[in-house]
Chains A and B, each alone.
Chain A
Amino acid sequence: MSDAPAIEFAGVSRWYGDTVAVADVSFAVGPGVTGLLGHNGAGKSTTLKLCAGFTSPSAGAVRIFGVEPRRNPAVYERVGVVPDQSPPWPFLTAQEVVELCARLHRVADPAAAADRALETVGLDDVAGRKVGGFSHGMRQRVKLAQALAHDPDLLLLDEPLNGLDPAQRREIIAVLHRLGDEGRTVIVSSHVLHEVERMAPQVLVLVSGHLVAEGQTSAIRQLISERPRTVRVAAGGDGRALAGALVDGGVVDAVRFDDGTMEFETGDVERFSRALPALARTTDTLVRRVEPVGDDLESVYAYLHERARGAGR
């Protein structure tokens, strides 16, 4: 394997007429599963199309393993792609589709590779049936199988979990984890945030075509810790004394009472966590539970989205 990163974007923009789909995006992605996160229309699909060489950047350069895919098709020997929508040829059987793709990727024994890939996605029992008669979820898995058959080093998956039921989702996520652990580069796009959180330890976050965050999910959370946070506290009694002290001390900006729990909004979590025990003692309040609210990717994303509003379109 060469030293070049699996995917490298250098100042990539892609516009369609007046619409900017991807705006000056630069990043490099190495082994492991990376989530490509963004709302509908944030530029996820365009980014993946650029990665896969299905379209050219209007500015900048896209490189896969150090080369531009559109000029060097040979690099596709190491790449598997699951496009969004686009079911495979309906008149072929699942086996034929996967075998054909394996053959086109110059796999030595396409039939055996197809068998393996179909087994991986759990379609071995319907391999002889025509794709045209498949359900959406089955087609989705055929697409995944054709991308896996040639054992690629880089996998590009556009919304691979669309149309799958929860059990199938779990299976596919397990497959992706395994591929990531094997040292392959896997890029998965999705707008369903908790899914990405389950699939990918690292993410690229796109908002209106701009790359607004990248890296480990937890690291991103750290980087933006200056954002206002909400902490839920369950306290004995009614806790109003504690709340009053926190507000007086300027530790929190807002309080909300709710069925025995309180939600504090604070701009400085560090200070809050230092002040809380002391104030609890002085106000003689029993604190039963302290938990952050909305500290998952969803709220991080919502915050980033809010902050980046006005950028791009």
Chain B
Amino acid sequence: MIEGKVHDVRFHRYDGPRNGRLAALWSMIRWSTLRALGAKRGWKAKVIPIALTLVAFFPALIVLGLRALFASSISDNLATVLPYSDYAGIVGLVILVFAVVVTPELLCPDRRDGTLALYFATAISRTDYVLGKVLAALLPLLLVTVLPPAILYAGNVLFATHPLGYVQEHTHDIPRIAAAGIAMALYFAFVGLAISSLTGRRAFAVGGYLAFLIVPTIVGGILSNNIEHGENLRLMAFAAVPIHTAEALYPVAPDSGDPSNTAWVLVWLGLIAVSALVLVWRFRGDEA
């Protein structure tokens, strides 16, 4: 050869500005959330989350739409047609499907494509990763759990004859809407992530998650009617746990007892705790 030149392509230190660990974490959370909702993916990946989100808003939009169309006389009655305490129960199935479709997308591809090791080679530690993914799972869920009743609230304020009076009368509903939404989001996020952490295949995480929610619900339903003191087996309705927990936050809803609201909340708490333990176990130090 004529003449040679060896280019220095060895590892270089990065000398530019550094944004630090929090920026790295935030970047991961942001992109995890957006990707789970279908960003930078084909239209098919976007359709289901977007459609489900819209459906979650339907009840609020229908009630508000009717109020907008009809005279204020009927309108006042309409204000009570859809109490905030019932919202979770009405769109519960939609939230469930949304959670089942969206949550596994946060963990499974990382494990399957080997991105996990790359993450841990950056400033993001295992703990950061898990906490970040929990946040990333919560954000889209809050979109369907908190926002629809919040919109309904805002609409009710607007259509009220005395908007300020409505707010004064219903101040306590604001924290309840938020708390109920967060309670549901926490449940679906933790349980979904725990199940997703067990497999790299998204499809099986989705199937497993749905099966986990639905099968015990059916089993508990049938058994509770047929065995001695079976009432408490209704608590196996894992699909209904977040709805009951959300409703427990509204004193308006009478405690149906058998099982009591407290029992539902305990199941809610227990499943979240177990899920958190599963996550800790799956992402413990020694292996990715």
B114 CB to closest chain A CB, in angstroms? 16
Q: Is B6 an interface residue (CB 8 A)?
A: no
Chain B 176-216 near chain A by CB (<8 Å), digits 1 or 0:
00000000000000000000000000000000000000000
Chain B 143-180 near chain A by CB (<8 Å), digits 1 or 0:
00000000000000000000000000000000000000
A259 CB to closest chain B CB, in angstroms? 8
A233 CB to closest chain B CB, in angstroms? 14
Which chain B residues border A256 with CB–CB below 8 Å?
2
Chain A 238-267 near chain B by CB (<8 Å), digits 1 or 0:
000000000000000000101100010000
Bound CA–CA A258/B2 (angstroms) = 7
Instruction: Determine the interface band of chain B, counting residues with CB < 8 A from chain A.
Output: under 10
Interface of A is mostly: strand
Bound CA–CA A113/B7 (angstroms) = 52
Interface residues of A in 253-294 (CB under 8 A from B): 256, 258-259, 263
Chain B 1-20 near chain A by CB (<8 Å), digits 1 or 0:
01100000000000000000
Q: In the complex, what residue of chain A is closest to B3 when comparing beta carbons?
A: A258
Bound CA–CA A149/B199 (angstroms) = 38
Bound CA–CA A144/B18 (angstroms) = 51
Bound CA–CA A256/B1 (angstroms) = 13
B11 CB to closest chain A CB, in angstroms? 25
Q: State the interface size on chain A (CB cutoff 8 A).
A: 4
Which chain B residues border A263 with CB–CB below 8 Å?
2
Q: In the complex, what residue of chain B is closest to A257 when comparing beta carbons?
A: B2
A-B contact pairs, 5 of them (CB 8 A): A256-B2, A258-B2, A258-B3, A259-B2, A263-B2
A85 CB to closest chain B CB, in angstroms? 15
B65 CB to closest chain A CB, in angstroms? 38
Bound CA–CA A259/B4 (angstroms) = 13
Task: Please report the number of residue pairs spanning A and B whose Cβ atoms sit closer than 8 angstroms.
Answer: 5
B222 CB to closest chain A CB, in angstroms? 39
B42 CB to closest chain A CB, in angstroms? 9
Which chain A residues border B3 with CB–CB below 8 Å?
258
Q: In the complex, what residue of chain A is closest to B1 when comparing beta carbons?
A: A258
Q: In the complex, what residue of chain A is closest to B42 when comparing beta carbons?
A: A17
Interface residues of B in 77-117 (CB under 8 A from A): none
Q: In the complex, what residue of chain B is closest to A261 when comparing beta carbons?
A: B2
Which chain B residues border A258 with CB–CB below 8 Å?
2-3
Bound CA–CA A259/B2 (angstroms) = 8
Interface residues of B in 260-286 (CB under 8 A from A): none
Which chain A residues border B2 with CB–CB below 8 Å?
256, 258-259, 263
Bound CA–CA A256/B3 (angstroms) = 12
Bound CA–CA A259/B3 (angstroms) = 10
Interface residues of A in 1-54 (CB under 8 A from B): none
Interface residues of B in 27-85 (CB under 8 A from A): none
A19 CB to closest chain B CB, in angstroms? 13
Q: In the complex, what residue of chain B is closest to A256 when comparing beta carbons?
A: B2
Bound CA–CA A263/B2 (angstroms) = 10
Bound CA–CA A98/B3 (angstroms) = 51
Bound CA–CA A263/B3 (angstroms) = 13
B287 CB to closest chain A CB, in angstroms? 21
Bound CA–CA A263/B1 (angstroms) = 12
Q: In the complex, what residue of chain B is closest to A259 when comparing beta carbons?
A: B2
Q: In the complex, what residue of chain A is closest to B2 when comparing beta carbons?
A: A258
A45 CB to closest chain B CB, in angstroms? 20
Q: In the complex, what residue of chain B is closest to A258 when comparing beta carbons?
A: B2
Bound CA–CA A258/B3 (angstroms) = 9
A141 CB to closest chain B CB, in angstroms? 26
A112 CB to closest chain B CB, in angstroms? 40
Q: In the complex, what residue of chain B is closest to A17 when comparing beta carbons?
A: B42
B161 CB to closest chain A CB, in angstroms? 54
A265 CB to closest chain B CB, in angstroms? 14
A183 CB to closest chain B CB, in angstroms? 42
Chain B 232-248 near chain A by CB (<8 Å), digits 1 or 0:
00000000000000000
A138 CB to closest chain B CB, in angstroms? 23
A76 CB to closest chain B CB, in angstroms? 30
Chain A 133-160 near chain B by CB (<8 Å), digits 1 or 0:
0000000000000000000000000000
B78 CB to closest chain A CB, in angstroms? 47
Chain A 188-225 near chain B by CB (<8 Å), digits 1 or 0:
00000000000000000000000000000000000000
Q: In the complex, what residue of chain B is closest to A232 when comparing beta carbons?
A: B2
Bound CA–CA A183/B3 (angstroms) = 46
Which chain B residues border A259 with CB–CB below 8 Å?
2
Bound CA–CA A258/B4 (angstroms) = 12
Bound CA–CA A203/B2 (angstroms) = 31
Bound CA–CA A2/B3 (angstroms) = 56
Closest 3 CB pairs of A and B: A258-B2, A259-B2, A258-B3
A257 CB to closest chain B CB, in angstroms? 10
Interface residues of A in 156-198 (CB under 8 A from B): none
Bound CA–CA A225/B2 (angstroms) = 25
B40 CB to closest chain A CB, in angstroms? 15
Bound CA–CA A135/B3 (angstroms) = 39
